């Protein structure tokens, strides 16, 4: 009887450890991209020099806090007239409360060589939020069949990856002025011919001029999951900052990002 009880308790402990390990591993989900020569005309990487300083615990709420690719986001602000310079911080939203990083940066999104500053808390607090737009060209709240192509502005667009980003709200990113369209897709990792939730998936961002149907470039990347989650939530973090900048959050702690500048001078000739 004692042996059976011991085995039962050991089984429960083992299952509990496995669940905790899976939860812990989720923070290691990692999204990275590579840039082709065509993509480099538009895009560059921004690395935040000191990463993000984030509180681990909220004593008042008794809440353990986390900051990682799936859980967290960027917030951009401007203090003054809208230009190419923005303030940016990270945050995690827990039950309607935003917990911000203790540090923040000032970056020029159009100049890859510009120095990255560290604005004061006062500047941040008085600046105006510029939201990231995450509008899809598909109707929201649906599943996009893999046989489906996107028909938009009289053109037909198709993805590079094996499957669309899901749900439909994460399958595309349409710029606020509807001039640019980015298709989001993945080719999931496999092992011995079957889907591997812990493997490295490939991700794709196909960028088009929506007015002409002309393809600008494709960004390719990889998503490594050690927590058994797919890439949809990671690629769905991408969004438009105004109608000019397409932002892709990268790294396990979103400590760097891809910025694609779709300014007027870079638009393909119809």
CA quadruple 145, 147, 152, 154: dihedral, nearest 10: -150
Q: Per-residue pLDDT averaged across 25-51, rounded?
A: 87
**Could you tell me what percent of the chain has a pLDDT over 90?**
76
Instruction: Decide if 254 contacts 72 (C-beta within 8 A).
Output: yes
Q: Per-residue pLDDT averaged across 179-200, rounded?
A: 94
At residue 87, the pLDDT reads: 98
Contacts of 132 (CB under 8 A, 6+ apart): 73, 74, 76, 239, 240, 241, 247
| pTM recorded for the entire structure | 0.86
Which of 4-8, 196-200, 213-217, 263-267 shows the lowest mean pLDDT across its residues? 4-8
Q: Label residue 228 by pLDDT band (50, 70, 90).
A: confident
Written as six digits, the tokens of 46 are 């921004």
Q: Per-residue pLDDT averaged across 182-207, rounded?
A: 94
Contacts of 226 (CB under 8 A, 6+ apart): 25, 26, 28, 29, 198
Identify the CA nearest to 263 among candidates 111, 105, 88, 42: 42
What is the Cα–Cα distance from 236 to 169, expressed in whole angstroms?
A: 8
At residue 62, the pLDDT reads: 81
Which of 41-55, 180-194, 210-224, 226-240 shows the lowest mean pLDDT across its residues? 226-240
Q: Which residues pair with 63 in a beta bridge?
A: 58
């Amino acid at each position: 009887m004692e042996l059976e009880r011991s085995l039962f308790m050991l089984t429960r402990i083992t299952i509990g450890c496995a669940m905790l390990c899976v939860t812990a591993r989720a923070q290691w989900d990692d999204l990275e991209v590579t840039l082709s020569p065509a993509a480099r005309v538009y895009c560059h990487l921004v690395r935040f020099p000191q990463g993000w300083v984030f509180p681990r615990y909220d004593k008042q709420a008794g809440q353990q806090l986390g900051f990682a690719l799936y859980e967290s986001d960027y917030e951009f602000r401007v203090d003054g007239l809208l230009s190419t310079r923005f303030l940016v911080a990270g945050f995690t939203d827990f039950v309607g409360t935003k917990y911000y990083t203790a540090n923040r940066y000032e970056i020029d999104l159009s100049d890859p060589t510009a120095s990255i500053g560290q604005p004061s808390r006062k500047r941040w607090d008085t600046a105006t939020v510029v939201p990231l737009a995450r509008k899809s060209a598909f109707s929201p709240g649906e599943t996009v069949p893999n046989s489906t192509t996107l028909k938009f502005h009289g053109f037909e667009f198709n993805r590079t990856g094996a499957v669309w980003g899901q749900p439909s709200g994460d399958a595309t990113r349409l710029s606020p002025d509807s001039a640019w369209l980015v298709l989001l897709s993945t080719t999931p990792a496999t092992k011995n011919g079957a889907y591997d939730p812990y493997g490295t998936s490939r991700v794709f961002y196909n960028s088009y001029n929506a007015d002409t149907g002309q393809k600008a470039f494709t960004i390719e990347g990889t998503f490594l999951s050690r927590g058994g989650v797919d890439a949809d939530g990671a690629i769905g973090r991408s969004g438009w900052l105004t109608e000019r900048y397409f932002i892709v959050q990268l790294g396990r702690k979103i400590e760097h990002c891809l910025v694609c500048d779709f300014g007027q001078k870079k638009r393909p000739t119809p």
